[in-house]
Amino acid sequence: MSQPQTIGLSEPETPPDATPPEKLSPMLEQYIEIKTANPGSLLFYRMGDFYELFFEDAEVASRALGIVLTKRGKHQGQDIPMCGVPIHRSDEYLHRLIALGHRVAVCEQLEDPSEAKKRGSKSVVKRDVVRLVTPGTLTEDTLLDARRNNYLLAIARARLSSVGTETRFGLAWIDMSTGEFRITECDRIMLSAEIARLEPGEILISDSLNTDIELIPLWRELPAVTPLGRDVFDSATAERRLTSFFAVATSDGFGALTRLEITAAAAAVTYIERTQIGQRPPLSPPLREAVASTMAIDQATRGNLELMRTLSGERRGSLLDCIDRTVTSAGSRLLAQRLSAPLTDVNAIARRLDAVACFVDDVAARADTRSRLAAAPDLARALTRIALQRGGPRDLAAVRDGIAAAHELARALAAIKDAPDEIADALGHCRKVDFALADELGRALGDELPLIKRDGSFVREGYDAALDDNRALRDESRRVIAALQARYADETGVKALKIKHNNVLGYFVEVTALNADKMLQPPLNATFIHRQTLAGQVRFTSTELGELEAKIASAADRALGLELDIFERLCAAVIAQGNAIKQCAEALARLDVASSLAALAAERGFARPLVDDSLTFAIEAGRHPVVEQALSRDGTPFVANDSDLSPPTEAQAGRIWLITGPNMAGKSTFLRQNALIAILAQMGSFVPAKAAHIGVIDRLFSRVGAADDLARGRSTFMVEMVETAAILNQAGNRALVILDEIGRGTATFDGLSIAWATVEHLHDINTCRALFATHYHELTALSARLPRLHNVTMKVKEWKGDVVFLHEVVAGAADRSYGIQVAKLAGLPPSVIERAKVVLAKLEQEDRAAPKGFEDLPLFAANYQPPAPSSEPTHERLIAAVAAINPDEMSPREAMEALYNLKARLRETDKQ
């Protein structure tokens, strides 16, 4: 958990040591000047082949990276700390610093050192920051997870009433590495759910939002929260900044955006402009996600169901890991997007399912598609690096190979008859990129490509005549130098004479000290000019060697210059087709997802679900995809189960299943598998079942399992109650609610009472479809007066005193909990098991003698009616609540919770 930091994007701050002393070197004066202009970031200061850090930055980087801290000169009487990282390994160090929550300002040399020398011996090479590296603005493959999007999320807020009780949030998120740009709007309740869905790498908020007392706990839970000044979130200038970025006259072309959405979008692009120092990535125009267009899944539910990662935080073992059969990075990212945001539009879901069905039926097309896609590189990320001038020859090759793969795939799939809209549309985008570009790149680029363009030798021989001529002169120099060395050895009679090269002297003649006198005497001294004497060698040059060196150096420089010109020309050609390339990349990802889900369906026996606008929820022989896959490794079959939460009649709401049975019988697995099947169906995937008919679910809630939240001072029971409260306050008739063991964290009668009232609320108020697992067998009596409540149980069998779990769901209610048998299976000592049996027998005997039924208690009576709301005026209750507070006896945490409670009551007052 990281604390929000303000990055230096507005007015620069002045550090304590900003005023350099008189004796500070010109280079360090320049360093301090640049550092002062970029507060809040570690400064990577380019010096030759290293990025150096000084002063406090050096100390921070030394600790974070585990590199040696040295010193360079003195400042204010103290040694100046210094450390550095080599240029060729800078990505590795940047990744580690960003992961630790740091931000880095990259300061490059803007001229060749030789140009600085022309201005005087003490002149400093021109340098400036060319980029601010932050968690949400990464583009390098080495800094990113190829299978995940890295979103930069901007959040803007607007209060819709004078007392500020109704608040809306505008959200804009950008993956700068791919150009994806989306926006939406939500309320306070859905804010944390949207953040959980997107899992952004960095979140931008205003300073005022950062200090909002209600939201501080949320920001503290999130990594990389960046507060920014008011100017970034200024709604008055937002549209101008957004349209300026995209070079359009009005935002109308982006759709009917609200002012709040425009403010968030403008904040995101403003931040990108400032961190990229004017370089603009090829962002798509902002695409608006309509409110309620996706299934709402809150953070707790995502965690409970282990959609994207397990409870331990690993991808392995999650639903995403289980279903991911994609063969491209872009496909894997798109699959994760769809899984995190299942659709609620029946037609859009059907469109996706049609594409999967096509590949399920056409085995040859599926195999051909997957084999061709496996050779397709990450087009979108390569395009972004090229547009930001961070690309290299391999990025151009990625564009070449991606376009070629797209055209080959379009030709191969052209034979599909009556291709579904999803596939036909994708193939159309694959053909849009001009294949002549791929052909040009193929003729220009060699087979072995360097990572960095400055290394040269990436243009194919025969592509450019002038380049070939200069390369020949450069490469011929090796033979010429060898011939000159042989002639000099002959003429001097010194067989050990060598011609060598280094960066200081250039080319030079080297002989041993024993032969040096001969070279210094006439007539040889007229040809050979002494340059340097070392311990065992003496070095000379000659006029002929100097002239040859100038020709060689000039040819090498000209060759590299010509290659760089060709590189820039090719990059310009790629950027000119940027939109078509981006659409092609998206099309390849869609084809990858459709064909991979088809491969999954064929491999695991998944069936196509029927998704419509009804309230039906009927699954035949449903299975838990993750558990089934794990069991299959050992050859253990998974026991499939039916479920039916459909309304008894069309005029009624959906059913609630009350599930009883012992621990280890499979209740939690059954609960989760139904939720996962619904998610898979609405994301557009086939499902692990023999058949499934699902009426669209707009909100999914799951409270399965429990853990303490020590950071916020919440016990297991408190966490359970908070999550249950969220469900009961938000679930509507189109929601699916999964609840497991409500009330188990407190005293028996307290827990039973809470569970009882919760079931009634779900039935009478929420009117939603629900699965409710419990150990309170007393709740089964509710089915007698709640018409939509049905009792089912996990089937078990006793055998010679042990319990055998059959993992089958059958109608009825469990007659006992089998807790002692489960404890025995867990390995409790035999003495404990025997004592537990004695105690249980005694308790059951006493209960039979004096049964403790619930029928006589008012709460559990069949004719029970909820009490009418208190007639006491709301403001009087509020005054009474304030009077009951004794601040002198409260801890800071208790005072904070009391304040939140009062604010909640104030909202209720406003509503009434």
Residues at the binding site are 661-668
Burial class (CB in 10 A: 0-12, 13-18, 19+), 105: buried
CA distances (Å), origin 510, targets 494, 495, 507, 769:
10, 11, 10, 89
Q: State the DSSP code for 887.
A: G
Tokens of 479: 């033979």
Q: How far is CA 138 from the centre of its chain?
A: 11
Q: What is the DSSP string of 694-743?
A: EEPPSEEEEE-S---BGGGTB-HHHHHHHHHHHHHHH--TT-EEEEESTT
Q: Are 84 and 47 in contact (CB under 8 A)?
A: yes
* Sheet strand arrangement including 617-622: 610-612, 691-695, 617-622, 641-644
CB-facing half-sphere around the CA of 828: CA atoms within 13 A: 13
CA dihedral 353, 355, 361, 362 (to 10 degrees): -170
Number of H helices, E strands in the chain: 30, 27
User: One-letter amino acid identity for 373?
Assistant: L
> Which of 749, 821, 738, 745 has its CA nearest to residue 778?
749
Sequence-distant (≥ 6) Cβ neighbours of residue 717 within 8 angstroms: 706, 745, 746
Cite the annotated binding site for ATP by residue number: 661-668
> Which of 192, 242, 258, 274 has its CA nearest to residue 11?
274
Q: How far apart are CA 227 and CA 233, in angstroms?
A: 10
CB-facing half-sphere around the CA of 386: CA atoms within 13 A: 28
Q: Are 884 and 897 in contact (CB under 8 A)?
A: no
Q: What is the DSSP string of 468-495?
A: HHHHHHHHHHHHHHHHHHHHHHHHH--T
The CA-based diameter of the chain, rounded to the nearest angstrom, is 128
In degrees and rounded to multiples of 5, residue 184 shows phi and psi of -160, 180
Tokens of 18: 């900003």
Q: Are 5 and 135 in contact (CB under 8 A)?
A: no
CB-facing half-sphere around the CA of 644: CA atoms within 13 A: 10
Q: Are 689 and 622 in contact (CB under 8 A)?
A: yes
Q: How far apart are CA 893 and CA 891, in angstroms?
A: 5
Tokens of 705: 């399992």
Can you name the residues that pair with 737 across neighbouring β-strands?
A: 701, 770
Cβ count near 435 (within 10 Å): 13
